[in-house]
Amino acid sequence: MLSCSAEVKEAIASGKPVVALESTIISHGMPYPQNLETALRVEQVIRTEGAVPATCAVIRGGLTAGISVSEMELLAQGGPQIPKASRRDLPFLVASGSNGATTVASTMIIAHLAGIRVFATGGIGGVHRGATTTMDVSADLQELAQTPVAVVCAGVKSILDIGLTLEYLETFGVPVVGYQTSDFPAFFSRDSGFKVDGRLDTPLEVAKLLQATWGMGSRSGVVIANPVPQPYHQPYEKMEGIIEQALEDANKAEVKGKAVTPFLLARIEQLSGGDSLKTNVELVCHNALVAAQVALQLSQLS
């Protein structure tokens, strides 16, 4: 059921640093060919830091850590036609021998099965705005509560209710670390008005925290909140106005379930004149850089 590329398998066996990557961002997060270009660039960022990238996906029914370039192109060209695979979708895709683009939750599952401890993504899912009525809460949060993988991200997607998301993570004992910041980032923006549980300023400090977390028997993941680089930061107030408009458009179009996030991200790109996509690309690459540095330190500690 689990398949690792030869490179990933060798790296894990020899204790080399490995960084897991999701594939939903390829099929559902960006248009072609920018999605493929970004995926390849992210992998190169990780290699440059001395770590091995392991882009995860469901390929012909197999949970795969380390897909090939041709498989990456398949996901990129397939776009939204490729099923978006979270935890509950995996059994269906495996049983039917289908392909699937993994979310944060399902990538954490594959990474944990493979023995990969560090994962880089754009932003995690969370509690959606209006969830007190809709009960729309991402499976990413429950996965963070029960799967020991560190997730380097630019906070949660800013289309979500950030305050309630942080409350959920606190309830389930998931540490939220600010990397070189005391502010919790809001994906496109470097701050959200909320604080992190603690600030750490070097990859070694983060690696020691991960070692301490799992060394005491905790089964939870760890959120490493890494703000987008300053040159690509979008003012929070500006993005809030755009997001509110996108949410209103989604309601009018009666977009529901899994289709909500891709719809909103596409609409936000339109409303921001492409600025949001540029920021998205750069924050993913920056998260990959930090994840590789943390994975390297963790491998040396181990």
Reported as a single tens digit per residue, the pLDDT across 36-75 is: 999 999 999 999 999 999 999 999 999 999 999 999 999 9
Categorize the per-residue pLDDT at 182 as very low, low, confident or very high, splitting at 50, 70 and 90. Answer: very high
pLDDT number for residue 157: 77
Whether 157 is a known active-site residue: answer yes
Categorize the per-residue pLDDT at 231 as very low, low, confident or very high, splitting at 50, 70 and 90. Answer: very high
> What is the model's pTM?
0.93
Averaged pLDDT for residues 202-209 = 98
In the CATH scheme, what is the homologous superfamily, with its name and number, of domain 2-301?
Answer: Indigoidine synthase domain (3.40.1790.10)
Determine the Cα–Cα distance for residues 175 and 249; give it in Å rounded to an integer.
34
Catalytic residue among 22, 43, 71, 73: 22
Nearest to 94 by CA among 207, 229, 3: 3
pLDDT above 90 for 159 = no
Catalytic residue among 49, 73, 143, 157: 157
pLDDT number for residue 176: 98
Whether 22 is a known active-site residue: answer yes
